């Protein structure tokens, strides 16, 4: 089947928080199209509007202005709202906040139960989600006894049991140790490759962002960069002005360019940087 060109499409979407004395425009006229099967990393400083934007995509928030379309639906009534929430799943930063059940199985069954899925079908979905995430052995365990990385895998399985088209991770690796982070990213990568599930990973880790097909940078509620990791991160001056890091090797090449040893900066991985440096040395 041909991938769906526009899974999510936002048109001039804005969101203003009105609940404090100074209304805050957290998302400012973002227009963006996301295809089925894309693996996107979303970056931005603290308070730049990433979480607000993510919540607009799965109809946890409704835009103050503009439009969010998921396939052909906008969250204008309850039915369409559920259509969207079912397809765009989200996992958050703190794995403890996602635990609902007393066993892993219960936790994963919760979503499809809420969607009104039949009991026998729920059983199948739970088993399949546990297999897909590689945690079938945790089925009967108490979620609060698991490690952070295991809890986040349960979170992914719980979303998978709703048969989503897209999973948004809002800094879901930030409380994990390096191994837990690596394992979670591997699971997500496989779901993206095998099941063509669209991934939007909101992260502060540059090395996670370099794994994505597309990097989007949000600053002050607006998109300021959107391209491949190489296109985005080799813009060293712009990225550092925003207050974000670029990969260390890119920074090294940038210094080599500033000192006249290189003409352009075009590497974001160690392998690419190695090739460029060997060329200089020869
Ligand atoms: N519930 C809220 N009420 C009022 N203002 C809010 C609320 N949530 C967020 N904001 C404000 O909206 C802006 C964007 O916040 P948001 O949480 O979307 O940013 P973020 O990029 O996810 O930040 P972080 O990296 O810290 O998670 C910030 O100025 C924040 O203070
Ligand atoms: Mg956030």
| Model pLDDT, residue 138 | 96
Q: Is the CB of 44 under 6 A from ligand 1?
A: yes
Q: Name the E strands within the chain.
A: 8-17, 24-34, 39-43, 65-70, 88-91, 166-170, 198-202, 214-219, 222-227
Residues 11 and 222: their CA atoms lie apart, in Å, by: 12
Q: What is the pLDDT of residue 54?
A: 97
Q: Is the CB of 259 under 6 A from ligand 1?
A: no
Contact 122, 113 (CB under 8 A): yes
51 lines ligand 1 (CB under 6 A): yes
Whose alpha carbon is nearest atom 23 of ligand 1?
47
Across all residues in the chain, what is the average pLDDT? 93
Q: What percent of the chain is predicted at pLDDT more than 70?
A: 99
Q: Specify the ligand 1 atom closest to the Cα of 55.
A: 18
Write down the domain spans for the chain: 1-91+164-178+193-229, 102-163
* Residues at Cβ < 5 Å from ligand 2 ion: 51
Is the pTM value of this prediction over 0.85?
yes
Q: Please tell me if the CB atom of residue 19 comes closer than 6 angstroms to any atom of ligand 1.
A: yes
Question: Rounded to whole angstroms, how far apart are CA atoms 15 and 13?
Answer: 7
pLDDT in tens, 71-102: 989 999 999 999 999 999 999 998 888 888 89
Residue pLDDT, tens place only, 32-52: 999 999 999 999 999 999 999
User: DSSP letters of 22-34?
Assistant: S-EEEEEEEEEEE
Residues β-bridged to residue 219: 222
- Angle 119-133/104-114 helices, nearest 10 degrees? 130
DSSP tag of 2: P
Atom 12 of ligand 1, residue of closest alpha carbon:
26
Provide CATH code, domain 1-91+164-178+193-229: 3.40.50.300
Pairing of strands 8-17, 222-227: unpaired
- Write the Ramachandran bin of 15: left for phi over 0, alpha for psi from -120 to 50, otherwise beta: beta
4 pLDDT more than 80: no
The pair of three-digit structure tokens given for residue 38, joined into one six-digit string:
């894309």
């Amino acid at each position: 089947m041909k991938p769906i060109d526009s899974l999510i499409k936002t048109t001039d979407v804005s969101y203003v928080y009105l609940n404090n004395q100074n209304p805050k425009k957290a998302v400012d006229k973002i227009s963006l199209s996301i295809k089925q099967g894309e693996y996107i990393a979303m970056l931005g400083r603290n308070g730049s509007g990433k979480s607000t934007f993510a919540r607009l995509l799965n109809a946890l928030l409704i835009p103050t202005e503009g439009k969010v379309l998921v396939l052909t639906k906008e969250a204008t009534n309850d039915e369409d709202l559920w259509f969207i929430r079912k397809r765009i799943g989200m996992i958050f930063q703190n794995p403890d906040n996602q635990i609902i059940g007393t066993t892993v199985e219960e936790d994963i069954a919760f979503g499809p139960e809420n969607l009104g899925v039949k009991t026998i079908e729920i059983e199948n979905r739970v088993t399949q989600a546990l297999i897909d995430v590689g945690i079938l052995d945790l089925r009967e365990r108490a979620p609060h006894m698991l490690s952070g990385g295991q809890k986040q895998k349960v979170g992914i399985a719980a979303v998978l049991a709703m048969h989503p088209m897209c999973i948004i991770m809002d800094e879901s690796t930030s409380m994990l140790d390096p191994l837990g982070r690596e394992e979670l990213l591997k699971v997500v990568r496989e779901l993206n490759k095998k099941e063509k599930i669209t991934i939007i990973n909101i992260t502060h880790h540059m090395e996670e962002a370099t794994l994505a097909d597309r990097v989007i940078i949000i600053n002050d509620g607006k998109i300021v960069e959107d391209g491949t990791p190489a296109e985005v991160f080799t813009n060293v001056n712009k990225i550092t002005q925003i207050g974000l890091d670029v990969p260390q090797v890119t920074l090294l090449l940038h210094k080599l360019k500033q000192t006249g040893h290189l003409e352009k900066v075009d590497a974001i991985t160690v392998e690419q940087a190695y090739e460029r440096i060997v060329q200089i040395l020869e």
